[in-house]
Structure 1
Amino acid sequence: MKKNYLLGMALMASLSFNSCDKEVVYVQDGNGVESVADGAQIITLQVENGGDGLATRAGRPLYSAEAKQDIQNVKLWICDNTGKKVVYVKEISNWNTDGSTVYTTGGHGRQTTIELKGADKLAAGAYKIYAVGYSNSSAYTLTNVTNVTKESAFNENMVLPCSTAGEEIFAGQMELTVEKGKGFKEPVVLNRQVAGAFAYVKDIPFMEGAKYLKLVASAQNQSLVLGNFNSFDLTGNGSGNANVKYVVNGTNGKSGSETYVISTIDLNKWFTAIKDEDGDNLIDAGENWKNPCRPSSSPAAGTYPTFQKGSAFGGEFVIPFAHVDGKQTLTLQLTKENGDSLRSWKVNLGSTDVQLNQAITYWNSNWDSTITDTSANTYSLVRNHLYGIGTRMNDEADPEQPGVDPDPDPENPNDKPESLNNKQELVLKVNDNWEVIHGMELD
């Protein structure tokens, strides 16, 4: 996935957002730091292109590691040097329609320019700038975002309760020094604030009564914390660099020992019947397979995701959570309709994954706490990292053939579902431009 950017800022800089690649949002004009002779104060907000029109709920669905986003609103605050008092607010709605225009400098996406004039111009001094990009009818309780107005107090560690597993949202900050009589440009990057997890599989075992494939986790956080931002323009989708951060910005953990289902694949939506007529102990594919995302009408190519024939896919954005000692973090389960498990696979990080042995910062009423993942079985799901079983880099299985669900041969290294036939271990790949791509294994 490539990151998304929200760029901006001439007055004060630029902001940038991101999404299903590295999903980063930037505020920047793409030209770097630059003096403005007449002291003009301009902010250019830029968000990378995204959106496929398929969302049936708030936010966009997760279909791959592709870098994209589909936010509709961006809100920006400029605070005094303490970062507590708001001195300027700007809200932009209809971002993807008439709220912005296309840009191609320093990335690609949509942008808008804000010029501070008259009473809105900033006096010389130090400031802190914050921005959040979010969806209409969001699953988050956004009062801590929408209710912050000029002159009100500002809390950079906003806590947003969520009614679902998670939803894509972007945020970031920058510090700004205004010199008397001078203007300037400087980037502010808004990165994706959630993790993502998906299962892209094929060769599904046939078992009597099989109905669902479920990706389940050892923990669940129910609120997101906007803070401790990684406001860097990460280059490359999932490639990682010196600015990669490992942060668990979730809180309000679900109590009890109940497993948390991240995503559920209904096999009846992918196969016309759950059967094994050829006797190979696998659910029949071939003419028995169907793409559940293909509209029943005559859809335009490229307006819906395609998948390798015979595969099944399920994925969701996830509020980050820390690992639970002694518990398998992710498990893939084949279940009956009533939830009874017929078979399961442990989902592990690769033994050489870059996340192992990293100090991971997590929210514990402040950002002073750390945890370390030392086991490939018990690991955290961290912010702006994508954890995937199988390889799926784009919403289109083959971007050069939009609207075509390809046969498995020849194999495409960028779109390769994981076989569940005779496997005891799943491989996860974590992609952050998403910042880093982690390879996972099925056990």
Structure 2
Amino acid sequence: MKKNYLFGMALMASLAFFSCTNEVIYVHDGESSEQVSDDQIITLQVSNGGDGLTTRAGRPLYSAEAKQSIENVKLWICNDEGSVVFVKEISDWNSDGSKPYTTNGHGRQTTIELTGEDKLAAGTYKIYAVGYSNDSDYDLKNVTDVAEEETFSENIILPVKSEKVSTVNGEEIFAGQLDLTVEAKKGFKTPIILNRQVAGAFAYVKDIPYFDGVKYLKLVASAKNKSLVLGNFNSFDLTGNGSGNEGHVNYVVNGADAANDGNYKYDISKVDLAEWFTTIKDGDSDGLIDVDANWKNGIDSKTDGEKETTFQKGSVFGGDFVIPFAKVDAHQSLTLVLTKEDGTELKSWKVKLAGDVNSAYYWDGSNWTSQTSGETVNNYSLVRNHLYGIGTRMKDNPGEGTDPEPDPDPEDPEDKPESLNNKQELILKVNDNWEVIHGMELE
């Protein structure tokens, strides 16, 4: 997965970002530890990346726009034996004790100063921090229950709640760590960078083929993990959306507890075409579902203070966050499928990876192993902080609410659904940052 730049009319995806801000969380805004008399200061700085974004648990994925919706940040400082010596938890992040900032984009920050008994003695430490949502789909006890004087596990395993496993592919969460050396009679300001720990995938398409009884358009994966592993972090401050991160992109499969039901077909997104078209018909006999006076916006995302999510007329969209998974030998990693209501497949497209492919480090159940091998354009892993998508979609509201049904003329290079008409395959093209935006196109 060689890092390329996202071309204007090319397709995209990644859990990296193109414009706007990074999907990262900072502890202070420096690039390295800095002496500040004998003060010990940590500034938690959370980059929202979205003006007026309504914070909500498990935000939906509608584009590659730089956003995140955590409500809580928890920080631990551990000594060189792994024992927790300091804990700080910030709840109601957007209103409790934090204030807006504009460094590197939009977000909120708060400063923590270690004083009195909390002050760190000379020695070596590790700082860990996790940003997560209220009412999460993950079982967060391995985050919320870790208290002072306990031993901290560097590789935190977060299983999806049992009642959510059948419907949840993943949920956005951030984490990171920092090695810290404290010198006697010297203070510090020091950054800890939290990057997104999940992947993302979407299909943004138009010119939907018509078949009698067609009901769903599905983006299907060959594997599904039921637990997320927080570890093997990338501590680099990623910049840009698809650029500026040369040498710093990591390929990590941090999912665990595979579904293993033997069918190798797991829905990432499932678009009900009846929610996008008033009637599923082909009145002009061109082989495609009719659009004129027949199309409607299938996503009702409008909330107080927000504009309605807009899509090009005639298009459909489906996407979700995904717990990263390793390739499954002999099985196509991603497939786009048209089906009837009962699941009968009517037409499918293979999703292929363009350009070079890279091996990925993965969690084997107890350790981070050597890289995966044999990755190909059809048989590839979905890795952490990368976004995989069919079609180009850079913002949730490309029409800025002025036209909920914008026609694609003139075409917007940042909002371009991919045509399914007369196409046989999808191609993934790679760019860096979310960490990487993988654009898929049809051939």
Same fold (TM over 0.5): yes
Equivalent-residue separation in structure 2 for 1:413 and 1:121 (angstroms): 52
Q: CA deviation at 1:156?
A: 0.9
Q: Which one of 166, 172, 186 corresponds to residue 168 of structure 1?
A: 172
1:243 has 2:241 as partner: no
Give the match for residue 413 of structure 2. Answer: 413
Equivalent-residue separation in structure 2 for 1:208 and 1:54 (angstroms): 41
Q: CA deviation at 1:145?
A: 0.5
CA contact (8 A) 1:195 1:383 kept: yes
Q: CA deviation at 1:402?
A: 5.3
> CA offsets, 1:376-427, max 9 Å, x none?
111100000000011111111245x656432111111111111000100123
Deviates more, 1:238-247 or 1:142-151: 238-247
> CA offsets, 1:246-303, max 9 Å, x none?
000001011132211111111111111111112211111132111133468xx77853
> CA offsets, 1:125-152, max 9 Å, x none?
1110000011111110111111100001
CA contact (8 A) 1:173 1:229 kept: yes
- AA matched with 1:422: N
- AA matched with 2:76: W
> CA offsets, 1:45-84, max 9 Å, x none?
11112564385xx4110011111100011100000023x2
Aligned residue for 1:372, secondary structure, equals coil
CA contact (8 A) 2:49 2:106 kept: no
Deviates more, 1:224-233 or 1:112-121: 112-121
Q: Which one of 102, 105, 115 corresponds to residue 104 of structure 1?
A: 102
Percent sequence identity over aligned pairs: 65
Give the match for residue 75 of structure 1. Answer: 74
1:323 has 2:327 as partner: yes
Q: Unpaired segments of 5 or more residues in structure 2?
A: 1-12
> CA offsets, 1:281-332, max 9 Å, x none?
1111132111133468xx7785332111111000000000010111100100
CA contact (8 A) 2:14 2:437 kept: no
- Evaluate the alpha carbon distance shift between residue 204 and residue 27 of structure 1 in structure 2; reply closer, same or farther with a 3 A threshold: same
Give the match for residue 9 of structure 2. Answer: none
Aligned residue for 1:268, secondary structure, equals helix
- Evaluate the alpha carbon distance shift between residue 112 and residue 317 of structure 1 in structure 2; reply closer, same or farther with a 3 A threshold: same
Deviates more, 1:371-380 or 1:423-432: 423-432
Q: Unpaired segments of 5 or more residues in structure 1?
A: 6-17
Give the match for residue 386 of structure 1. Answer: 387
1:278 has 2:288 as partner: no
Q: CA deviation at 1:30?
A: 4.6
- AA matched with 1:387: Y
Q: CA deviation at 1:334?
A: 0.4
Give the match for residue 349 of structure 2. Answer: 345
Aligned residue for 1:181, secondary structure, equals coil
> CA offsets, 1:355-381, max 9 Å, x none?
x0x231001121133113531111100
Equivalent-residue separation in structure 1 for 2:198 and 2:19 (angstroms): 10
- Evaluate the alpha carbon distance shift between residue 214 and residue 430 of structure 1 in structure 2; reply closer, same or farther with a 3 A threshold: farther
Give the match for residue 361 of structure 1. Answer: 361
Give the match for residue 269 of structure 1. Answer: 275
- AA matched with 1:41: Q
- Evaluate the alpha carbon distance shift between residue 263 and residue 43 of structure 1 in structure 2; reply closer, same or farther with a 3 A threshold: same
Matches within 5 A, 1:130-169: 130-162=128-160, 163=164, 164-169=168-173
Equivalent-residue separation in structure 1 for 2:280 and 2:55 (angstroms): 26
CA contact (8 A) 2:15 2:387 kept: no
